[in-house]
Structure 1
Amino acid sequence: MAKPVSEYTRKRNFDITSEPPETSGRARSNKSKALTFVIHKHDARNLHYDFRLELDGTLKSWAVPKGPSLDPKNKRLAVHVEDHPLGYGSFEGSIPEGQYGAGDVIVWDRGVWQPHGDPRATYKAGKLKFTLIGEKLTGDWALVRTHLQGSGDKEQWLLIKEKDEAVRSADEYDIVADKPESVVSGATVGEGRSAAKAPKRKAASAPVAEKKPAASKPASKKAATKKSSVPDKLSPQLATLMDTPPAGDWLYEIKFDGYRIMARIRDGEVRMITRNGHDWTDRLPLQAKAIADLNLGDGWLDGEVVVLNDAGLPDFQALQNAFEIGRSKDIVYYLFDVPFLNGEDIREKPVEERRAALKKLLGRQAKGLLRFSDAFSANHRDIIESACSLSLEGVIGKRAGSVYQSRRSPDWIKLKCKLRQEFVIVGFTKPQGTRSGFGALLLAVNEEGAGLVYAGRVGTGFNQKMLDDMFGQMKALEQDASPLAKKLTSAQARGVHWIEPTLVGEVEFGEWTREGIIRHSSFIALRSDKPAEEVVHEYPRTPKDIKAPFKPKASKSGASKTEEPPSKPARTRSGKDRIEVAGVLISHPERVIDKESGLHKIDLAHFYESISDWILPHLDHRPVALLRCPEGVEGEQFFQKHSERLAIPNIKQLDPELDPGHARLMEIDTVQALVGAAQMGTIELHTWGSTYDQIELPDHFVLDLDPDTDLPWRSMVEATQLTLSVLDELGLDAYIKTSGGKGMHILVPLARKADWDTVKAFAKALAQFISQQLPERFTATSGPKNRIGKIFIDYLRNTRGASTVAAYSVRARPGLPVSVPIARDELTSLKSSAQWNIANLQKRLRKLKADPWAGYKNTQRITKPMWKRLGVKAPG
């Protein structure tokens, strides 16, 4: 007999809505996992909050019109609605018009809940009491069923804050108004609704805040509105690449990772036009209809179409996939300018006025398929750092008071987080090993007076579908002769299949060499919106070039040219199938070691070389253990403590008497040894708690705070603060670092006086003391069943022969995060323990003004009064 369709499924058309179907959520054993909760803020017909508690494999759900209150006097109405699948807990996006619950949805809060008593029995009885551990809500709460009559047959409940330390008077504080943003993306919804007293809101899925432009002088004497007929064609204004933000009054927006689209409205008909004049209306039918529904007069709108990922950020590959399968409903059209409005030419009005007019005309329509591109509110000096920390491609700056010009203008600038541009694809190589399709692409750019000039290769960033699809396209374009103006050497051209230079690909890379070759490259996607003849080497300008408007000298391709010199030459030397890094030959450099980021073995070697000055002091004179992952993060992993027969280039073998009965321990004390370990498939580096010259006397102990994975990050921050407070009370100086995973590491430096057993016993006593004082938050007992909804204080690393991942070591996890030392005052601003990875850590290191662990000294001793304060008798 077929299972009856649930109310959740019955109400939704999953071919249209992006909400998860019921099959996306799997029931979990409540015995081995904490129960999760999520609160969605839902800007539907009426703005409300959806309160959801995990129970019996579903999310029990209540609609709370006014949202939760921290005041027990405010008993919030909670209307019981249909159960939602567990997969809905991570949903954030826009439910299309015409669908049930149409409107924007954000994750307002999430975490774990701890029921008081049997949750099934209290739920059935209508008297649920529980503790919340969320990013915003904490403490004890109750959901109580009433006998009030509501609309239809839906039960009426009350959501009530219980009296505890988290209580706040409603006269003094409103958490709904004070914290309107998503805990996932930082986005807000419901601007201008009943929560208007909240701080400035952000667009539904764009993690930026609107900046109120400062008043500026008119752009010119012609700034008065001119009546004119709307042209059939209009070229967009293009931005000039910059290396740093210039001084002056600028408005900054997201640099969207999508396709630039101009929307033309003529006699009620909307056409969606690419920057090169191609009509894409058939590919964007829903967006065209949404614009038509605005009932505007003749005009032109300017914007970018994107697809947003789960974090609310633009995903270009997802955009291409949406076009390929014809899912126009997944595409969002962000609008940022309006050159012509209702038959009027307003191009010479200041950009602030044009944007204000655009925002006004979108009004309540600025959601779903059409959205207004909000501006950053940060100081201009922090703009690019803020954008990069959000994993954005970069930002676009627009000079306050500037007019709209259909050309590349210095009044619009672009600042990129990484070097990234289009290249002409001129050839490909054969695949190696188990890879199919092709190995690497040969790239080129147009150079004035010279034609196509070789710019290097890219062999990473492809998934299997891209390999297959692109190989088919390139095979059809294959030709015998090289399309490059200057022939490559016989070694460079060996095995290359040349193709007609018509395909354009976007590539992200680390730098240009002096010879004009890109390094550390990764393929992003094919670009069908830019002709091959327009692809040139993009040189960033400096602020001194752009203090005042200028007229750039145009090349034959129409792009601006400067004499900005390329970057310093590379420090690597290539062989036939190996690349030299720091004097170490890296074999199989193109092997992908992390599918999530697309990073490969050579990237890891370059990373360890680049941070050698930071990591080597933490490896100096210490036995090191290696986590080797020859096939990458997803392959088999080996933990190696001894040198054995493995010949790791340049690694130092220690005295065999340090660990009798085993092969020699190892030390990494040079950049060559560091890179040599990466060559042998090492990702993680773990060190002992002592130096080998006094191996029996540890010089620090470490507490590894390891949370239940369902706990919110806020709990991790609070747990670290609480542990540090206990150490402060004991008079012990402590230092913290991210684990690169979910938890935090706290290191306490010691004078080399106590032996291993004493240090481990003290760390154990400390962990047990904290867990006894706060048993609802901590546990000192290992094992998943003891850590449900809690944080395990792991003291077991303080044993002879045990080790902890070193500061600045990469972790063998998706995304290749790094364990990073931080200062105490950085803790509350930390977003995740995996916040830094091999792609973004250098940016942090460059802006550091001081060592986060400045003052670290091995002079502290464990004293008898300390043991006494922990309630334990000192050994001996």
Structure 2
Amino acid sequence: MPKPNDQIAQASKPRPRARARKDTAALPEQFTPQLATLVDRAPEGAWQYEVKYDGYRMLARIRDGEVRLFTRNGHDWTERLPRQTKALQALKLKDSWLDGEVVSLNGDGLPDFQALQNAFDIGRSLDIVYYLFDAPFLNGQDQRQAPVEKRRAALKAALGANKSKLLRFSEAFTAHHRDIIESAFDLALEGVIGKRLGSPYVSSRSADWVKLKCRLRQEFVIVGYTRPKGSRSGFGALLLAVNDDSGLVYAGRVGTGFDQAALTSIYAQLTPLERKASPLGKPLTSAQTHGVHWVEPTLVGEVQFAEWTREGVIRQAAFVALRTDKPAAQIIHEQPRTAKSMKAAKQPDTDVKITHPDRVIDPQSGTQKQQLAQFYDSISQSILPFLVHRPVALLRAPEGIEGEQFFQKHSERLAIPNIKQLDPALDPGHARLMEIDSPRALIGAVQMGTVELHTWGATTDKIETPDLFVLDLDPDPALPWAAMVEAAQLTLSVLDELGLQTFVKTSGGKGLHLVVPLARRDNWDTVKAFAKAVSQFMAERLPERFTATSGPKNRVGKIFIDYLRNARGASTVAAYSVRARPGLPVSVPVSREELEGLSGAQQWTVANLQERLNGLKADPWAGYANRQKISQKMWDKLGAQPPE
């Protein structure tokens, strides 16, 4: 394999797209790592490549001299890696977040994932090496906007005094990417990671980091097993699945790659998980299910294989190991993007200057103001259809979500770049209402500290006749999420019975929003009264589950069906709006079929929404149209009457 060299060829080095920070910054309590995008071949442009280590992603937080180690999902593994923790303490670094991978090396000096698992199982951290490859925060400096090559150079310098064999810097290679990949294949490495020169560090999956695999290999959810044959003990094969929009989908089975210890250990974990029915969304044939023992879909296994068939089943599979660092709900069919699509991340409209770009909006994720602007710019095509032609209210948090927050419904004296000011007649006696009708206006709102975007239930051309109503299912925080899903299904059943097509979105907060599009015929009072009638109907029929009265005291152990946001001047958070909550969750439209598979109202955030958008096979709100009318028959079914 080409020898690593830390000198990047200056002739091919592009001009950095982001400047480095020189001032100190508060260290986030928690941190989300940057993730690489799977591609089919090396993209064009100036990139550097590193080994794709076959191990566990690990983040090191150094604060006030204390070192803590976290997995990519935020689990604290400090106690499991005492020697690596001690080696990091010996560096005497100031406040830092370091990014890397812990691996075990075989006799040839190559990563061995099974050996890594064995080392953790017996508590032998002496066999584990921590390869460090990035430093988003280093010695009190926030380096996230610095080019990747500068961050890595600073990290290597900081590791210069390291005397431990358990800490190593992940070197880059200078040979042509084809030579690197071919050598990686020959050495049976998992693959390589490419990083675009000049790119910043972002806490999400990014097109600036790519992964090329030498072999097809990914994680699968284990949904069942077959009995062993002959002299084999434990089980014969594992049945595998991946998640998609319809739930768990069968992906084949794996019956090789197990030694006796693995057969025994995995079987012991499968037995208590047995269930009678298949957890798959679609039934298999009788031949596929013959002799199968179904299990709860909680275990995740990594498998290498030759190819995917047209039917979505893997061929020539061999088991690698169980994975405890990745939850089953996140396992999908990994499909590589084409190299042509791997363009540099789009920057927000240059007409809008983002002041204080490195201000941290959310300490939990470490998201900065510039990154929030980039996020909204990247999803502008998804969110703008829900913003245009509607008055918008802004929830602003100029100093970040832990600072003061306030709503702004009118333009007043504050000049928001590129925002549209509406006709004064729409809201007499007040300053003008506002509308966001372009990506530039969207970024302008972020520039002024906006995090959330809330819209009216009517369009500006017919402001007195709403074109939708919303039922906000707001739960007692003590209720489990399953109760929320059940409540949504019950309410949807009633709306179905009324003949109203309803669309669902996560609130990004605690509950779900049920959105009913309407023909623009009835006035505000009528629409609000109808929404109230639905709420009261549910509360009267199921008083142990629902309440139609606001206030925490009235919803203890219940779900408040909030109809109040359907009044004139009231607003609801827009679809695809970020919420000003830790982690920056997003309000996301979902299909009715996805409802049971949701894990919570904050399932999607600024860090993972793009993955959902890229993976959507169909519009979850397909068929949405403002054409439904509230009829007298509907009022009668609810036992209510429209207002005079």
TM range (shorter): 0.5 to 0.7
Matches within 5 A, 1:486-635: 513=196, 516-521=197-202, 540-541=211-212, 567-572=342-347, 581-635=349-403
Residue 257, structure 1, aligned to residue 57, structure 2? yes
2:85 paired residue number: 323
Is residue 2:578 matched to residue 1:810? yes
- Structure having the higher Rg: 1
Quote the residue 2:38 is aligned against: 243
Give, in whole Å, the separation in 2 of the partners of 1:355 and 1:826. 38
1:518 is displaced (CA, Å) by: 1.3
Q: Deviations over 1:129-171 (max 9, x none)?
A: xxxxxxxxxxxxxxxxxxxxxxxxxxxxxxxxxxxxxxxxxxx
CA RMSD of aligned residues (A): 4.8
Residue of structure 1 in register with 2:75 after alignment: 313
- Asked if the contact 2:504/2:514 (under 8 Å) is kept, the reply is yes
Give the conservation status (yes or no) of the 8 Å contact 1:520–1:603.
Answer: no
Task: Determine the C-alpha separation between the residues in 2 that align with 1:599 and 1:863.
Answer: 47
- 1:314 deviates by 5.4
Q: 1-side partners of 2:83 and 2:564: how far apart? A: 48
Deviation at 1:652, TM superposition (A): 0.2
Q: Structure 1 CA distance, aligned partners of 2:194 and 2:422?
A: 39
Are the equivalent residues in 1 in contact too, given 2:55–2:103 (CA < 8 A)?
no
Counterparts of 1:801 and 1:849, CA distance in 2: 36
1:633 partner letter: I
Q: Cα gap change, 1:602/1:457 in structure 2, threshold over 3 Å: closer, same or farther?
A: farther
Alpha-carbon separation, structure 2, partners of 1:649 and 1:844: 30
Q: Which residue of 2 aligns with 1:873?
A: 641
Residues 805/668 of structure 1: CA separation in 2 closer, same or farther (3 Å cut) = same
Given that residues 573 and 587 in structure 2 are in contact (C-alpha distance below 8 angstroms), is that contact kept between their aligned partners in structure 1?
yes
Q: Is the 8 A contact 2:398 2:449 kept in 1?
A: yes
State the Cα distance separating 1:521 from its structure 2 match. Answer: 3.8
1:693 match: secondary structure: helix
Query: 1:228-627 counterparts in 2 under 5 A?
Result: 243=38, 255-258=55-58, 313=75, 323=85, 366=121, 369=123, 422-423=133-134, 437-438=140-141, 440=143, 454=150, 513=196, 516-521=197-202, 540-541=211-212, 567-572=342-347, 581-627=349-395
Is contact 1:456–1:518 with CA below 8 Å preserved after alignment?
no
Residue 546 of structure 2 is aligned to residue 778 of structure 1: yes
Query: What is the CA–CA distance in structure 2 between the aligned matches of 1:242 and 1:692, rounded to whole Å?
Result: 41
The structure 2 residue matched to 1:836, chosen from 589, 604, 609, is 604
* Residues 476-516 of structure 1, C-alpha deviations (whole Å, 9 max, x = no match): xxxxxxxxxxxxxxxxxxxxxxxxxxxxxxxxxx9955xx2
Q: Does 1:671 align with 2:444?
A: no
Q: Which of the residues 693, 705, 730 maps onto 2:461?
A: 693
Cα distance, 1:583 vs structure 2: 2.6
Summarize the Cα distance change of 1:511–1:355 in structure 2 as closer, same or farther, 3 Å threshold. Answer: closer
The alignment covers a number of residue pairs equal to: 424
Shift of 1:568: 2.6
Given that residues 423 and 443 in structure 1 are in contact (C-alpha distance below 8 angstroms), is that contact kept between their aligned partners in structure 2? no
Change (3 A) 1:707 1:424: closer
Quick check: 2:38–2:212 contact (8 Å CA) kept in 1? yes
Task: Specify whether residues 605 and 315 from structure 1 end up closer, same or farther in structure 2 by C-alpha distance, changes over 3 A only.
Answer: farther
CA 1:687–1:581: 2 relative to 1, 3 Å: same
Aligned to 2:260: none
Letter in 1 for 2:211: P
Q: Tell me by how many angstroms 1:539 deviates.
A: 6.5
8 Å CA contact 2:57, 2:102 repeated in 1: no
Residue 321 to residue 690, structure 1, CA distance change in 2 (3 Å): farther
Question: Which whole-Å CA distance do the structure 2 matches of 1:707 and 1:643 have between them?
Answer: 33
**What is the one-letter code of the residue matched to 1:519?**
P
2:408 aligned with 1:640, yes or no? yes
Counterparts of 1:779 and 1:715, CA distance in 2: 14
> For each residue in 1:354-406, what CA deviation from the matched residue of structure 2 results, as whole angstroms up to 9, or x when unmatched?
779x87xx9xx958x579xxxxxxxxxxxxxxxxxxxxxxxxxxxxxxxxxx9
Specify which of 556, 564, 570 is matched with residue 796 of structure 1.
564
Partners of 1:455 and 1:593 in 2: CA distance: 22
1:701-742 CA-to-partner distances (Å, cap 9, x unmatched) read 000000011111100110111110010111110000000011
Q: Judge conservation of contact 2:40–2:212 (CA < 8 Å) in 1.
A: no
Higher helix share: 2
The aligned residue for residue 827 of structure 1 is: 595
The alignment partner of 2:361 has SS state of strand
TM-score, normalised relative to structure 2: 0.57
Q: CA deviation at 1:569?
A: 3.7
State the Cα distance separating 1:256 from its structure 2 match.
1.6
Please list the CA deviations of residues 96-122 of structure 1 after superposition, one character each: whole Å capped at 9, or x if unmatched.
xxxxxxxxxxxxxxxxxxxxxxxxxxx
Shift of 1:313: 3.4
Cα distance in structure 2, aligned partners of 1:754 and 1:814: 39
**Could you tell me which amino acid in structure 2 is paired with residue 541 of structure 1?**
L
Question: Are the aligned partners of 2:420 and 2:437 in contact in 1 as well (CA < 8 Å)?
Answer: yes
Which of 1 and 2 has higher RCO (CA within 8 Å, sep 6+)? 2
The alpha-carbon distance between structure 1 residues 317 and 636, as it changes in their structure 2 partners (threshold 3 A), is: farther
Q: Given residue 766 of structure 1, which amino acid in structure 2 is its aligned partner?
A: V
- Taking the aligned partners of 1:320 and 1:632, their CA distance within structure 2 comes to 35
Q: Structure 1 pair 438/421, CA: closer, same or farther in 2 (3 Å)?
A: closer
Query: Identity, % of aligned pairs?
Result: 53
Rounded Cα–Cα distance in structure 2 between residues aligned with 1:630 and 1:715: 36
Per-residue CA shift, 1:594-648, capped at 9, x if unaligned? 0111111001100010000000000010000000100011000110000001100
CA contact (8 A) 1:704 1:744 kept: yes
Q: Please give the per-residue CA displacement for 1:264-287, whole angstroms capped at 9, x wherever unaligned.
A: xxxxxxxxxxxxxxxxxxx99xxx
What one-letter code is carried by the residue in structure 2 that aligns with 1:323? T
Pair 1:849-2:607 in alignment:
no
Letter in 2 for 1:682: T
> Structure 1, residues 512-546: CA drift from partner, whole Å, max 9, x if none?
55xx21134469xxxxxxxxxxxxx9873356899
- Per the alignment, residue 171 of structure 1 pairs with none
Whether the 8 Å CA contact 2:393–2:434 is kept in 1: the answer is yes
Describe the superposition over 1:769-800 as per-residue Cα deviations: whole angstroms up to 9, x where unpaired. 00111111110000010011111000000000
Aligned to 1:396: none
Secondary structure of 2:564's aligned partner: coil
| Separation in structure 2 between the aligned mates of residue 823 and residue 864 of structure 1, nearest angstrom | 29
Instruction: Write the distance in 1 (CA, Å) between the matches of 2:568 and 2:498.
Output: 25
User: Does 1:728 find its partner at 2:488?
Assistant: no
- Rate the CA distance shift 1:732–1:313 in 2: closer, same or farther, 3 A: same
Q: Deviations over 1:258-309 (max 9, x none)?
A: 499xxxxxxxxxxxxxxxxxxxxxx99xxxxxxxxxxxxxxxxxxxx96569
CA 1:335–1:631: 2 relative to 1, 3 Å? closer
**What aligned pairs does 1:47-86 form with structure 2 within 5 A after superposition?**
none
